[in-house]
Structure 1
Amino acid sequence: MIEMLSAKEIESYLIFLKEQEKSKETIEKYKRELYDLLKFLSQKDLTKEVLILWKTKLQNNYSASSVNGKLVAANGFFSFLGRHDLRMKLLKIQKEIFSKEEKELTRQEYIRLVETAQKKGNIRLSLVIQTICATGIRVSELQFITVEALRKGCAEVNCKGKRRIIFLPEKLQRILLRYAKNHSIEEGHVFITKSGRPLNRSNIWADMKKLCREAHVSPEKVFPHNLRHLFARTFYSLEKDIAKLADLLGHSSIETTRIYIMESGKEHRRRLNQMRLVW
């Protein structure tokens, strides 16, 4: 019976996740969460009572969804160890029917971010923002935007064990091909660092945050995944086809897609007023 948690067990679990073909991002997240748990335990016995104390501490410092993310990582690890008795219940989260206005990126704000990046001379960032928003891809999927994909007009994305085709708008295709030519990128990844490595999430996230003040956009709204949400809302407003949108976004469940197209309370009030049912 394991009485204390060790880095050796964590590393074994990470190898297991890799063998299960989990994404690099998922493995990094689990690694971060489990080593934080290891730090909390620090010479403490690995018991359910101690873990409940950890869970309580998390609840006092993080949102419910963040706490659940950490609990999922821990529960998966305990199952791997055969310690099902240590698994913890996830927090119950009341389903929200409206999105938070303070976190919803508008089309006008998106345009200001693009224009600000251009004014600052960061053409690469401007194109990264436009590529994510115009295609709906995840930031981790930018690696599939290659010169070869640009020439074909579509990219084949392989993420989380699923393959899907992402079509590129013609205007974006032309702009990115011109960008690649101007930067002597003849093959492979279009968005790369000075050393030739593909841009990662942290590079893009940090660069986007630098645009906030000059673009007059709240920092809470400025992160790569919010561009994907704007794509989803824009597509749905035109097509009203949630099943097709789920396929485009690479979602296994339409319930996940519903979160992306959730309207704000402000928008709902506007629709109520338009109904004119009060005589």
Structure 2
Amino acid sequence: MITKYKSFLSRQDLAANTVRSYVWTVTHFLEKYKEVTRENLLAYKGYLVENHKPQTVNLRLQAINKYLEFIRKEKLKMRFVKVQQKNFLENVISDADYKFLKTRLKRDGHTSWYFVVWFLTATGARVSELLQIKAEHVQQGYLDIYSKGGKLRRLYIPKSLRAEALVWLKERNLESGYIFLNRFGERITARGIAQQLKLFAQKYGINTAVVYPHSFRHRFAKNFLDRFNDLALLADLMGHESIETTRIYLRRTATEQQAIVDKIVNW
């Protein structure tokens, strides 16, 4: 049955990681409870709530609900748990730390990683999108990305970044193809980027909790709104389906909130 469920998911145009996650969840459920009944489903939901964060709980419930569709027991579908939205952003690298990291990487000769950090922060790219950038895209100043739904998003490469990157590529005699490569001439991986960024954070004394690929995408959004307060445009640039997703960037980080309170509250 699990094999058939996996085939069912594969026809749903889901990402490979999502399919693996859903299959793992249903396998885990069936190992614990054997039968699909309302009582067992509610017991599993209770187990998830006690042991996982709301986002993880909802991911697992989505997997179970997909399975219920597959076995045609949609009436047993479970409601998601409410995710309490924080009124601040967490673990976003500060602009000062971003600039410090960039400066140190360049000074110490870690040029490729200097450009990894700059491209992430100046384009708002997801790490998976960063890995798609080729020399041809740098030359033309943008990269067109198509989502699974067929929607087009243009990832712009700012003028200053483009100019310096072209010099870097010329020094490497790289006129075409992917630009972020490992020592074997193959594309670096998302996991490799995340691990190396943590190592640089430790080396330069930056809080490792704020140094990860998506943190630089957050910094792009924060800096963009600080300089050009157009939420709708930012939503388009980041590829958000809903502008509500983008509103989080109107909020300050916890560190920024603390600094403001420390400065103004004297009563």
Q: TM-score, normalised by structure 2?
A: 0.86
Retained in 2: the 8 A contact 1:129–1:227?
yes
Q: Which residue of structure 2 lines up, in the alignment, with residue 32 of structure 1?
A: 21
> How far did residue 152 of structure 1 move?
0.9
SS in 1 for 2:12: helix
Q: Match of 1:9?
A: 4
Describe how 1:230-241 pairs up with structure 2 within 5 A.
230-241=219-230
1:140 is aligned to 128
Question: Which residue in the other structure is 1:198 paired with?
Answer: 187
Match of 1:83 among 44, 64, 73: 73
Kindly tell me: are residues 153 and 68 of structure 1, through their superposed partners in 2, closer, same or farther at Cα, counting changes over 3 Å? same
Amino acid at match of 1:107: D
CA distance in 1 between counterparts of 2:261 and 2:209 reads 28
SS at match of 1:72: helix
CA 1:10/1:193 → structure 2, altered by over 3 Å: closer, same or farther?
Answer: farther
Summarize the Cα distance change of 1:89–1:120 in structure 2 as closer, same or farther, 3 Å threshold.
farther
Out of 72, 77, 96, the position equivalent to 2:62 is 72
Structure 1 residue 203: deviation in Å?
A: 1.7
For 1:42, what is the secondary structure of its paired residue? helix
Q: 1:110 and 2:105 equivalent?
A: no
Would the alpha carbon gap of residues 197 and 10 (structure 1) be closer, same or farther in structure 2, given more than 3 Å must change? farther
Deviation at 1:194, TM superposition (A): 4.2
Contact 2:143 2:154 in 1 (8 A): yes
Q: Deviations over 1:20-47 (max 9, x none)?
A: xx4xxx3313312431431342272233
User: Which residue, out of 154, 165, 171, partners 2:142?
Assistant: 154
Letter in 2 for 1:53: A
CA distance in 1, matches of 2:259, 2:182: 45
| CA–CA separation in structure 1 for the residues paired with 2:118 and 2:212 | 13
- 1:1-279 paired onto structure 2 within 5 Å: 6-18=1-13, 22=14, 26-42=15-31, 44-100=34-90, 103-118=91-106, 121-160=109-148, 161-265=150-254, 267-268=256-257
Looking at structure 2, the residues matched to 165 and 209 of structure 1 have their Cα atoms a distance apart, in angstroms, of 29
The aligned amino acid for 1:65 is Q
Unmatched segments (≥5 aa) in structure 2: none
1:165-194 Cα distance to aligned partner (Å, 9 max, x none): 222112211232233333333212111334
Q: Is the 8 A contact 1:17 1:27 kept in 2?
A: no
Query: For structure 1, which runs of at least 5 residues remain unmatched after alignment?
Result: 1-5
* TM-score scaled by length of structure 1: 0.82
